Amino acid sequence: MPKVITFGEIMLRLSTPGYLRFGQAKQYDATFGGGEANVAVSLANYGLDAKFVTRLPKNDIAKACINDLRSYGVDTSDIVYGGDRVGIYFLETGAVARPSKVVYDRANSSISTIQPGEIDWKSVLQGADWFHWTGITPALSQGAADACLEAIKAANEMGITVSCDLNYRKNLWKYGKQASEIMPALVEGCDVILGNEEDAEKVFGIKPEGFDVTSTGGQIDQQRFQSVGEQLMAKFPRAKKVIITLRGSINANHNTWGGVLWDGQTLYQSPRYDITHIVDRVGGGDSFMGGLIYGLISYPEDDQRALNFAVAASCLKHTIFGDFNQVTVAEVENLMKGDGSGRVSR
């Protein structure tokens, strides 16, 4: 069974019920989530050997978090302990013309105070086929960036495929460094690079000419993004595949969703899904990444199928509350075949 290891922060997620605003909420729905943990849960659901590595405090909240991950079949055996707190994020779900809002309370979380040398990456990565990280982790602190770089270098030395989701979050880069200063050294060790329609521009200044994400009206010309793939591969020659997720936002409840994959020769374009009644879009990119890793491992000679699996998996995630994409391979494949009716399965 292929083994995938992900590394990053997992947080306590506190969501206002339904579409209530922060000022209206008298209680919050508590779940857990975080980019790399979300990927690990997807992969475990698909039957792969998925391990999540992070740093957590020794307290009851961290224990609940670990138990939650284990309930999905995620291996947590290499989590290290230290620091004082689990990070928190608050979510207010938007509706129609009102966008969703996220408020972070993750300063001085256990993972943000990690230092290089705390994780024995050669031991952790033993037997792994794939290592995944996101741009959220190096945004937390210099120590987290250094630990991530250690992992990437160890994976490179061990011949393990490395993937990243650029995941630019402007509100996280607070420790005196910009993403453009830190990210190049990490991304240059990656075989697979994922980003959304804005990430490459925000981090590296790379964008398709004539494209404005705010004026798409939900319709995005996928062909425009071949140039993004070409520019990223020129900057990071190790990369074998560049994938861009493409979201057209009609309103907070209605998005179009698709993606492209550039392998250096061919631009693969996915079907475009019209998601008219979004339940929860948080974790949408992570569900895409989980589907993509599964697809690239399971269909190594068929990049089109791998891309289609990723997009379909992420489309289904938009119907599920919480960060985690709780779907099966069969459910994703049914949607890939065109069964989006939502009829009761008996």
281 is written with which tokens?
């879009």
- How would residue 346 be classed by pLDDT, with cut points 50, 70 and 90? very low
* Domains present along the chain, CATH in parentheses: 3-336 (3.40.1190.20)
d(CA 176, CA 195): 23
- How would residue 145 be classed by pLDDT, with cut points 50, 70 and 90? very high
Q: What pTM, to 2 d.p., does this model score?
A: 0.94
- pLDDT tens for each residue of 81-137: 999 999 999 999 999 999 999 999 999 999 999 999 999 999 999 999 999 999 999
**Helices (runs of H) and strands (runs of E) counted in the chain:** 11, 15
- CB-based burial label for 153 (10 Å; 0-12, 13-18, 19+): middle
Burial 307-341 (b: 16+ CB within 10 A, else e): bbbbbbbbbbbbeeebbbbebeeebbebbbeeeee
Strands 11-15 and 29-33: antiparallel
